[in-house]
Amino acid sequence: MSATQATLRVYRGDKNKGEEVEYKVPVETGMVVLDAIHWIQAHQAPDLAVRWNCKAAKCGSCSAEVNGKPALMCKSRMERFAPGEPIHVRPLKTFPIIRDLVTDVSWNFEVKKRIPPFQPREGAEWKWQQHDVDRAQEFRK
């Protein structure tokens, strides 16, 4: 299938000032917004700051506001957006911005420290049910 073209307006800047910058990106079947951001990094803006890790909708590190709504960029299929309409990609409003699409999520790690690890009760027997195993495996495929 031949590539079509999408317009992305990506926030560029830091906590003091920034603006959306427009990029034209060739779109292939199955592409997600994170792929488009990576294409921009590879071809037009190597200094574009973006955080990602798993590219499998598991870690949450690619979170951004896509057309005004919090989303995982690695799970946001390009075909979901109306052809010809610009796709706005901005950092999450929930956290302080560091640069471009990267925010300071250190608050999450502070909260995590306060959550006690799971400890089975003394003498209690904990068994996995097969349907729980199946569900966990589904997310790890």
Rule CB under 6 A: which residues touch ligand FES? 52-55, 57-62, 72, 74
Distance CA 120, CA 39 (A): 46
DSSP secondary structure of 96-118: -EEETTEE--HHHHHHHHHSPPP
Residue keyed to tokens 């089975």: 120
Q: How far is the CB of 129 from ligand FES (least distance, A)?
A: 27
| CB 124 to ligand FES: min, Å | 33
By beta-carbon proximity to ligand FES, the closer residue of 18 and 60 is: 60
Closer of 3 and 56 to ligand FES (Cβ): 56
As a whole number of angstroms, the distance between CA 25 and CA 117 comes to 44
CB of 38 to ligand FES, least distance (A): 11
Beta carbon nearer to ligand FES, 15 or 80? 80
Dihedral angle sign, alpha carbons of residues 54, 74, 4, 18: negative
Minimum distance of ligand FES from residue 141's CB (angstroms): 15
